[in-house]
A and B are shown apart, each in its own frame.
Chain A
Amino acid sequence: MYTQALNANPDADTRDLEDAAQLARFEARVADEERIEPNDFMPAAYRRTLTRQISQHAHSEIIGMQPEGNWITRAPSLRRKAALLAKVQDECGHGLYLYAAAETLGTSREELVEQLLSGKAKYSSIFNYPTLTWADIGAIGWLVDGAAIMNQIPLCRCSYGPYARAMIRVCKEESFHQRQGYEIMLTLARGTAEQKEMAQDALNRWWWPSLMMFGPPDAASSHSDSSMRWKIKRFSNDELRQKFVDATVPQAHFIGLTLPDPDLSFDAAAGHWRYGTIDWEEFKQVIAGNGPCNRDRMATRRKAHEDGAWVREAARAFAEKRAATKTAAAA
């Protein structure tokens, strides 16, 4: 809704006078758990942070279709294939809900897409890893979607209304994703020795990258303070990571798989699973574009966009022709 048929006006907020009184009112509204809506006053930094966060989230959903799309034609049964197709379609839908939310902040869809294609905008590091076997589809659903849910549930209470509403929709759909992933892992883990080995191998490869999804450790995280104050974030990266580990370790044990972390141990006093050191250098490299699949993901996305150009053009031309015919008939 939100009046932004204006397709581009990124500097709209520079007209806002950020006087102290307006800022104080904004901070008070947020502190009071009021939701901020698109036409309300917001500090330029709040708008910038949210535009970056929501659009990166959208880009991640769109790029995230690729690793899983890789196995649609090779799914082991019709049941698995139908579920995977539906899941990949959901990821696309999530990307579109999120783009729409980001657009309410004043940046057009076309610009957001351009930022992804030009490499200016980032997407989640996790989608730069390859899906080598069918078990990877199970691991992604269980771990990657599981981590995403941990991150997204608190975002349903984000101070920015359109983002929070998009997250509510996304979370409702995401729980099917995680369950279908876990079911794949469970089936493999209870199958032949070879199948179990395949499941273990997928877990070994996806575990650490999944932990990295929550972002840098709190001590090194640059955006956290204002995001917390503005109630964009409700929990720190490390808090969410810990929640994820605590929830996931018993699930792995239940299906007889081992986590690839020799330092993993249960801290009975605190009630938490303590995990080993994350390789932040790997994380940095993947973010910087040097992961195993970065170039391939971007090339595929660009090609899909270019291949669709004639469709967008034809649809536009047809709409214009129809509008012109209608005007002529009315005259």
Chain B
Amino acid sequence: MVDAATPLWEVFIRSRNGLAHKHAGSLHAADATLALQAARDLYTRRGEGLSLWVVPSSAITASDPADKGMMFEPTASKIYRHPTFYEVPEEVGHM
């Protein structure tokens, strides 16, 4: 018999202060407290971090890879958003 489903959580770890939390992986747990404990056991056995976030996977809204073109392509043509688009005479030095 297949067991009833246990919710899925995404785990984020801050490896040290000054850095952002980064996605480490996922796990199953009945509630947030258990998810946090499981995340500690599963993802920080070797001093990987000093802060953990657990987020229900169902709370994440993701963009659809099929919309990749529509979502991200337009930025490729806007090269004027990058500093290298502009010419500054060499005599001016670093800017």
Contacts and interface: CB of A to CB of B under 8 A. Distances in A.
Nearest to B38: A96
B4 A110 contact: yes
Interface residues of A, number: 36
B46 A173 contact: yes
Most buried by B among A96, A111, A309, A312: A96
Interface string A63-101: 000000000000000000000001001100100110010
Given A1-B60, A100-B26, A316 B42 contact: no
B65 A37 contact: yes
A3 B60 contact: yes
Contacts of A103: 8, 26
Given A7-B8, A89-B45, A315 B2 contact: no
B62 A3 contact: yes
Contacts of A309: 3
Interface string B1-22: 1111111101000000000000
A194 interface: no
Nearest to B48: A169
Contact of A5 (B3, B27, B57): B57
A90 B60 CA distance: 29
Interface in A278-331: 309, 312, 315-316, 318-319, 322
A166 B57 CA distance: 18
Interface residues of B, number: 29
A108 interface: yes
Contacts of B60: 1, 3
A300 B57 CA distance: 32
A318 B58 contact: no
Does more than half of chain A's interface fall in helix, strand or loop, or is it mixed?
helix
Given A4-B57, A40-B65, A315-B30, A96 B3 contact: no
A319 B30 contact: yes
A222 interface: no
A109 B28 contact: yes
Interface string B32-58: 001000000110011000000000111
14 contacts: A2-B57, A3-B60, A3-B62, A5-B58, A89-B41, A90-B45, A97-B25, A97-B42, A108-B2, A109-B5, A315-B30, A318-B31, A319-B30, A322-B31
Given A1-B10, A173-B46, 20 more contacts: A1-B57, A3-B57, A3-B60, A5-B7, A5-B57, A8-B5, A37-B65, A86-B45, A89-B41, A100-B25, A108-B5, A111-B2, A113-B3, A166-B25, A173-B45, A315-B31, A315-B34, A316-B4, A316-B30, A322-B31
Interface of A: 1-5, 7-8, 37, 39-41, 86, 89-90, 93, 96-97, 100, 103, 108-111, 113-114, 165-166, 169, 173, 309, 312, 315-316, 318-319, 322
Interface of B: 1-8, 10, 23, 25-31, 34, 41-42, 45-46, 56-58, 60, 62, 64-65
